[in-house]
Amino acid sequence: MDAYGVVGNPINHSKSPKIHHLFAEQLGHQISYSKIESSLEDFTQTIELFFTKGGKGLNITLPFKEAAFKLSDSYGQSAENSQAVNTLSFSEDGRIYGESTDGLGLLKDLENNDIYLEGKEVLLLGSGGAARSVIPSLHQKDIAGLTVCNRTKEKAIKIKEDFIHLREINVLDGLSLKNHYDIVINATSANLSNEAPEINPNVFDGSVCYDMGYTYGDTFFLNWAKKFNPSICLQGWGMLVEQAAESFYIWRGVRPDTEEIILRLQKETEN
């Protein structure tokens, strides 16, 4: 049986084992998929041990995505653009290949919901790994403009500098944001502390509001944003399943039917 897993810290909350087991069940594949907690010091060793024991592929989550990029021997275009990796695979010749499927996961989920980015003004909230992981994919879609806003402005400016080879990024303070963006994406981790980012709330007026976070029921962010008249609100379940499906495809060459799995997860969240 081919072995896969997800490495992170903390890792207990991860939904990846469930999602990958559902993919395997749907396609009649026999796989194992486990949660692996690692410390920062042991990260490289953890990966090497998994692959030495015959493991086929790993997902990488917080806080190791940059470290996974560094230990990859070769990488895909998205990993190179975002300098982060969430999917590792081990090839026959003992080399580790890394790719980032987060950005593609976001694009697919938006498309599944009939939201198209071409020509749109996009506001991205946050400047950590989650924000970085989706910028190259947003750029690919020929958006009209990208504004990044972060509580700590220096980090947003660093993003602007790091992606300057790809595109122009506007950096604005929360209270200087315009009154409307076509799409507002929350890539902050403010949900974890039940806080809303300090921004002009009129950004949501008539906008598509997408929270990359996910929870049972509405996220704290969506609950708050809903008060300011967005046209549609979505949370990150679909992105989670779509990025997992891309990893599954990299490893096993078959793309699962994600619609069925997203519906199943959403149904569970409603109950």
Residue type, 180: H
Instruction: Decide if residue 188 touches ligand ATR (CB under 6 A).
Output: yes
Distances (CA, A) of 219 to 216, 230, 249: 8, 15, 29
Per-residue x/- track, 140-179, ligand ATR (CB under 6 A):
----------xxx--x------------------------
How big is the site for ligand ATR, counted in residues (CB under 6 A)? 17
Instruction: Decide if residue 271 touches ligand ATR (CB under 6 A).
Output: no
Instruction: Decide if residue 190 touches ligand ATR (CB under 6 A).
Output: yes
Instruction: Decide if residue 127 touches ligand ATR (CB under 6 A).
Output: yes
8 vs 256, beta carbon nearer ligand ATR: 8
CA 34 – CA 233 distance, rounded (Å): 32
Q: Which residue's CB atom is positioned nearest to ligand ATR?
A: 128
Kindly report the number of other CB atoms within 10 A of residue 204's CB atom: 24
Instruction: Decide if residue 78 touches ligand ATR (CB under 6 A).
Output: no
β-pair type (121-125, 145-149): parallel
Instruction: Identify which of 51, 68, 74, 73 has the alpha carbon closest to the alpha carbon of residue 5.
Output: 51
35 vs 155, beta carbon nearer ligand ATR: 155
CA 249 – CA 67 distance, rounded (Å): 23
Catalytic residues: 65
89 vs 188, beta carbon nearer ligand ATR: 188
Residues 6+ away with beta carbon under 8 Å from 13: none
Contacting positions for ligand ATR (CB under 6 A): 62, 126-131, 150-152, 155, 188-190, 193, 195, 197
